Amino acid sequence: MAAAVRIVWKTVPSTASSRYAASGISLNGVGIPFPQFSFIHKPRVTSQKRLASHFTFQPDPPPSEFGSTQKMNLFQAVSSAMDNTLANDPTAVIFGEDVAFGGVFRCTVGLRDKYGKDRVFNTPLCEQGIVGFGIGIAATGATAIAEIQFADYIFPAFDQIVNEAAKYRYRSGNMFDCGRLTIRAPWGCVGHGSLYHSQSPEAYFAHTSGLKVVVPRGPVQAKGLLLSCIKDNNPCIFFEPKILYRAAVEQVPVDSYYIPLSQAEVLQEGSDVTLVAWGTQVHVLKEVANMAQEKLGVSCEIIDLKTILPWDSDTVCKSVVKTGRLLISHEAPVTGGFAAEISSTVQEECFLNLEAPIARVCGYDTPFPHIFEPFYIPDKWKCLEAVKKMLNY
């Protein structure tokens, strides 16, 4: 067993210099002996492991309409989508920090060797430059796939995304556009990312017309939605839940296929409460729905929003008219989070159908913590309590 070492600092009175000298202990110039260190070995107390996996991934059924499938995790599905694009589109290029080496999450592994250094290449560590470069490539009609290494570091590129990419078509009267630009970024908490590697910044971009913002829940959705983003005629931001890169495994079609953007999906029909989420939180709400059915006898309808901008308000409102109750969950802070936009729209459109106030189970208005991450993340227990409160209102 590993041992912890405790260092004890001992000082010696100056009057005892002769005694210490006789013992072979040297003193410093002012008559104070150098400190002595005694090493006391004590067994290390192993702290309880914090479990970052606040959910159990629930795979989608293997799709049959898109041809043969192969077992892939989420980062392999993303890689497969880009592989298909590079193979079918000679103008397509992939670039970003370390993408030529496979990327920190291995999403581009092997692509440079397969397609060459002119089509898959590294960039300087400059997010503003990465997106600006992508805008220029896309404006020429080529297909640009830019990677921001972490969504937390997309903010230096905020001006390029919001003031340039999103407005390019508008300010030129549709004479020019950069619609062939797709920006990929690992997103959300992973269990140990803390302040700078756990953020969910989708709401920042939801305020900007001209962009499309997408978050998948698993490998099948990731590949189909990413291919749709790449093919779309508007600049797209594709946020990839990094905690699902290896945790999520599904049977994914090998060939190209497209999942429509801006169409939410009803994953489970229900009659009492509507649960809305995107990305990782979809799997949290699946567990909540099962718990609500088993413990409370409550039937929950689950909706994966998938596209944050433009979002599918019709599907959500139709569900709320039926159930009368709505719970929205996301990992971002509660103030200004995208749940607030959904709540406002549903309140306006479905006021007479609501049986209880709309519930938001989100992060807190603090920086993303490290030690207290399990308390920050909206988990199934917090969401279940919110369901109980709505039912007892």
Catalytic residue among 97, 127, 202, 301: 127
Instruction: Name the residue with tokens 């992060």.
Output: 363
Return contacts of 335-342, CB within 8 angstroms, 24+ apart: 335/365, 336/203, 337/203, 337/362, 337/363, 338/202, 338/203, 338/206, 338/308, 338/311, 341/203, 341/206, 341/311, 342/276, 342/305, 342/311, 342/313, 342/316
Structure tokens at 1: 């067993």
Q: What is the sign of the dihedral through the CA atoms of 320, 326, 332 and 334?
A: positive
Give me the count of residues in the chain. Answer: 393
* Residues 104, 324: Cα–Cα separation, whole Å: 44
Distance CA 92, CA 142 (A): 6
d(CA 91, CA 73): 27
Considering all CA atoms of the chain, what is the largest pairwise distance in Å, rounded to the nearest integer? 93
Give the residue from 328, 303, 324, 333 showing the smallest Cα distance to 315: 303
With residue 275 as reference, give the H or E element that holds it: strand 273-277
C-alpha to C-alpha distances, 106 to 78, 163, 181, 186, 241, nearest whole angstrom = 10, 31, 21, 11, 14
Among candidate residues 197, 202, 330, 331, the one labeled active-site is 197
User: Tokens 């009659």, residue?
Assistant: 271
What is d(CA 387, CA 324) in angstroms, rounded to the nearest whole number?
Answer: 12
The DSSP call for residue 49 is P
Q: Say whether 41 is catalytic.
A: no
197 flagged as catalytic: yes
Structure tokens at 270: 């229900």
Show which residues are catalytic. 127, 197
